[in-house]
Amino acid sequence: MRAAAAARSRWLLLIYDGIFRWREASIFVVGVALVIYFALQNSAFLSTDNIRTISQYAAAPAIIAAGEVMLLICGEIDLSVGNTYTLAPIIMYTLYTTNHMPLVPAVIVGILIGGLVGLTNGLVTVLLRVPSFITTLGMSFLLNGIALTVSSFPQLTPGGSTFSNIMGHGDYSEIIWALCVIAVMQAVLSFTPWGLHTVATGGNILGSEEVGINVNAIKIGNFIVVGMLAALTGILEAVRTTSVDPSAGGTPVMFAAVVAAVIGGTSLMGGSGTVLGALFGALVIACLQDGFTLMGISAFTYSIILGAAIIVAMIVNIRLQQLRARSR
Amino acid sequence: MSNEESIDQLPKDHDPGRGFSRRELIRRAALGTTALSIPAVVSALGQNPGTADAAQSLAPLRANPYPGHPRWRFTFVNHVTTNPFFVPTQYGAQDAARLFNCQFQWTGSVSSNVAEMVNAMNTAIAANVDGIAVAIIDPHAFNDPVNRALAKGIPVVAYNADAPASSHNSRLAYIGQDLYLSGFKMGQRIVNLVGRGDVVLFIATPGSLNIQPRINGAAAAIRASGGSVHYQEIASGALVPDELARIEAYYIGHKSIKGMFAVDAGSTQSVGQISQKYHLKGRVKTGGYDLTPVTLNAIASGNLNFTIDQQPYLQGFIPMQQLFLYKLSGGLMFPSDTNTGVKFVTQATVGKYRRTTSRYEGSSPAEKWIH
């Protein structure tokens, strides 16, 4: 009897230990609690239709957040991702219709333009020593103007059914893209020298330079990556909504990505972060947005509740992290 | 003022296979009938706190002719959920919800973000709501969600902004202002006011389906008039402070302009403010859309020659009414296109708008019989 009790408590200890060693545990717990709450409020929450809708809410912020996490870890931020998101599909559309470029190369060029935007952000921030907040803020206005100048009217997204289904229009294609990007970026962060150097740059930039890490290259590289991911997301969303719209995107998209990253456990101060956590963060926000709309909450009340829920989710997240730190 | 112009621009009937005859857009005469019935409905709803005459007590309507039914839930998907223009729309929908014992939800995007609106509509579809009213501000993005809703048996109507016929959107009806026609009439009025010379037409966000057709109509009317008036289209921006700055900057650069007009609420009130600031009354003709307090003051003082009321209260009330009757009659009462009006408001007629505050204009939450 005592042996059985000892075995049971050892299992519990292992589970407790396992959960709290896992750094994304806190946001995961918050997410599960929300799913349970909304499922109890409305049985339609767990229906196939709604799960697809939640995946569509979460995919775009998750992909951009994967890049923002890397950038936040090394101590910078990119506020122009929402406008890169707007510009990339417009570039793709213009190349396809005006320059008669085939569709797939046009998509690739669109993504590369996102990388170019990131490169510009990186060079100005690193070489000219402008704070990334300001650089990317200015870039966001610039991109907004360029997008409106190039194409002031919403247009029908081009592409046949195969292209559309793969590039965001298919039921789960966007979330599959998101999961792939998250997996790759988390692997880069955890298992490659690039990821290690990113963490080092964010944690102690002087020390990193001393040991020979090229911190400039790290930062510029991460800017390029987030620019390309924002461009990819813009194209996926344009295919999903079948509309290339110059008024799409903007600061709301950027905030959604940064909030997902921060709620997921990435510090705004730099030095630590998790891409997988950003995915959970995006899912938590998506559940909140979808769940309250499903319950029938109207827009004004919805804003109040969403704001409060984000703060509460963050508080719970931090408390669980503190518990985890103490239990070690 | 007759409504016979630009018939070819009216929304086409795109599903004749449904087996119903679509009524024509309700003309001004029919609109007059609708307008007459509103006071009757309002007086039926309850007391009027604004009336000083206590002897005229209004008996609220108690008898409900309709049988018991589930409290159906109708979701409105909007593009600028916090914009004060839509406050009377929400009041109209709320009043209809109470009248018909249904539920009303107001959701969508704060900043005309189409992806957010599509997400909100998808959520409503997943929630199996009983009806959806959506402001279709993008010609393509709402085709799939509308089709999915209809496939699930959820009726969908468009309000305030409609997809062009070329989009082949399957929404059952459009309730709102005939945007192109209103612009066309404004263009005709511009030609009458200005006579000859250069005018400028301001539009907040070019391409937006709730305002672009207006400027297209105005441009067409000006071109059709024979060439004595020349127009230029200028984008003024989505936010009111930007609009004011840009309109002022334009005027300073074009002081010989004969007319300044706008097709959205923010630009219209900014035109009125610039007219006042530079004492343009009489020299430069001005006008626009919607009834913000600044605009009403400008009309009263003569700084704006006219504005156009699209009756946003009706854009909330009538979709609810049509969706309710559709559900109650099992589809026998089918939603139909409704023109909520091209109503010009001038210095002669603006008085009542300024003297009263009511749910119809969004300026007060109190239920009133205005007389």
Sequence-distant (6+) residues with CB within 8 A of B77 are: B107, B108, B117, B120, B121, B124, B132, B133, B134, B135
A245–B111 C-beta distance less than 8 A = no
Tokens of A145: 């103007």
Q: Identify whether residues B305 and B315 lie together within a single domain.
A: no
Asked whether B78 and B137 are in contact (CB, 8 A), the reply is: no
Q: What is the mean predicted confidence (pLDDT) over B125-140?
A: 94
pLDDT digit of tens for each residue in chain A (328 aa)? 677 777 777 777 766 666 556 778 888 888 999 999 999 988 889 998 899 999 999 999 999 999 999 999 999 999 999 999 999 999 999 999 988 999 999 999 999 999 999 999 999 999 999 999 999 999 999 998 898 888 867 788 888 888 888 888 888 999 999 999 999 999 999 999 999 999 999 999 999 999 999 999 999 999 999 999 999 999 999 999 888 888 788 888 999 999 999 888 888 888 888 999 999 999 999 998 898 888 888 877 877 887 888 888 778 778 877 877 786 6
Question: Is A224 exposed, middle or buried, given 0-12, 13-18 or 19+ CB atoms closer than 10 A?
Answer: buried
Nearest CA in chain A to B166: A156
pLDDT for the residue A7? 74
pTM: 0.76
pLDDT for the residue B32? 39
Longest Cα pair distance anywhere in chain B, in angstroms? 65
Residue B348 belongs to a domain: no
Residue B352 belongs to a domain: no
B125–A296 C-beta distance less than 8 A = no
Nearest CA in chain A to B145: A241
Give this complex's ipTM: 0.73
Q: Identify whether residues B78 and B193 lie together within a single domain.
A: no
Nearest CA in chain B to A256: B116
pLDDT for the residue A210? 94
Q: What is the mean predicted confidence (pLDDT) over B113-136?
A: 94
Q: Identify whether residues B164 and B188 lie together within a single domain.
A: no
Q: Encode pLDDT of B104-117 as tens digits.
A: 999 999 888 889 99
Indicate if the alpha-carbon torsion angle B170, B15, A154, A159 is positive or negative: positive
Nearest to B115 among A248, A297, A303 (CB): A248
Q: Identify whether residues B97 and B208 lie together within a single domain.
A: no
Chain centroid, CA B34 distance in Å: 16
A60–B115 C-beta distance less than 8 A = yes
| Interface contacts A/B by beta carbons within 8 Å | 114
Alpha-carbon span A242 to B10, nearest angstrom: 25
Q: Identify whether residues B199 and B126 lie together within a single domain.
A: no
Nearest CA in chain B to A56: B119
A57–B126 C-beta distance less than 8 A = no
Nearest CA in chain B to A145: B237
Instruction: Give how far B127 is from chain A: nearest CA, Å.
Output: 6
Q: Identify whether residues B31 and B147 lie together within a single domain.
A: yes
Neighbours of B297 (CB within 10 A): 17
Instruction: Give how far A157 is from chain B: nearest CA, Å.
Output: 9
Residue B191 belongs to a domain: yes
Counted domains in chain B: 2
Q: Identify whether residues B172 and B39 lie together within a single domain.
A: yes
Asked whether B276 and B283 are in contact (CB, 8 A), the reply is: no
pLDDT for the residue A109? 96
Residue B29 belongs to a domain: yes
| Least confident interval from A26-30, B276-280, B334-338 | A26-30
- Residues in chain A with CB shorter than 8 Å from the CB of B151 are none
Q: Identify whether residues B169 and B185 lie together within a single domain.
A: no
Mean pLDDT for chain B overall: 83
Residue B299 belongs to a domain: yes
Domains (range + CATH), chain A: 25-321 (1.10.3470)
- Residues in chain A with CB shorter than 8 Å from the CB of B115 are 60, 237, 240-241, 248
Nearest to A241 among B104, B114, B124 (CB): B114
pLDDT bracket for residue B239 (50, 70, 90): confident
| Selected residue of A247, A287, A300 to mutate for chain B interface (largest B Cβ count, 10 A) | A247
pLDDT bracket for residue B57 (50, 70, 90): low
Instruction: Give how far B151 is from chain A: nearest CA, Å.
Output: 13
Residue B5 belongs to a domain: no
Instruction: Give how far A126 is from chain B: nearest CA, Å.
Output: 33
pLDDT for the residue A165? 87
A3 interfacial to chain B (CB closer than 8 Å): no
Nearest to A302 among B107, B112, B119 (CB): B107
Q: Identify whether residues B272 and B294 lie together within a single domain.
A: yes
A246 interfacial to chain B (CB closer than 8 Å): yes
Instruction: Give how far A95 is from chain B: nearest CA, Å.
Output: 20
pLDDT for the residue A319? 82
Domain holding B108, by residue range, is 20-50+71-177+311-341
Q: Identify whether residues B151 and B233 lie together within a single domain.
A: no
Residue B317 belongs to a domain: yes
CATH number at residue B227: 3.40.50.2300
Q: Identify whether residues B126 and B228 lie together within a single domain.
A: no
pLDDT for the residue A284? 92
Residue type, A243: S
Sequence-distant (6+) residues with CB within 8 A of A183 are: none
Alpha-carbon span A58 to A265, nearest angstrom: 17
- Residues in chain B with CB shorter than 8 Å from the CB of A53 are 119, 122-123, 125-126
Alpha-carbon span A232 to A238, nearest angstrom: 10
A49–B104 C-beta distance less than 8 A = no
B54 has pLDDT over 60: no
Residue type, A249: G
Q: Identify whether residues B161 and B226 lie together within a single domain.
A: no
Phi, psi of B139, rounded to the nearest 5 degrees: -70, -20
Helix (H, G, I), strand (E, B) or coil at B170: coil
A294 interfacial to chain B (CB closer than 8 Å): yes
| Selected residue of B85, B123, B129, B148 to mutate for chain A interface (largest A Cβ count, 10 A) | B123
Q: Encode pLDDT of B18-43 as tens digits.
A: 333 333 323 333 343 444 344 444 44
Nearest to B118 among A241, A246, A298 (CB): A241
Q: What percent of chain B has pLDDT above 90?
A: 57
Question: Is B124 exposed, middle or buried, given 0-12, 13-18 or 19+ CB atoms closer than 10 A?
Answer: buried
Nearest CA in chain A to B138: A154
B4 has pLDDT over 70: no
pLDDT for the residue B266? 85
A157 interfacial to chain B (CB closer than 8 Å): yes
Alpha-carbon span A315 to A317, nearest angstrom: 5
Q: Strands, DSSP E only, in chain A?
A: 155-156, 243-244
B235–A152 C-beta distance less than 8 A = yes
Return the closest-CA partner of residue A86 out of A119, A113, A120, A58.
A113
Residue B329 belongs to a domain: yes
B259 has pLDDT over 90: yes
Nearest CA in chain B to A242: B141
| Selected residue of B74, B119, B134 to mutate for chain A interface (largest A Cβ count, 10 A) | B119
- Residues in chain A with CB shorter than 8 Å from the CB of B123 are 50, 53, 289-290, 293-294
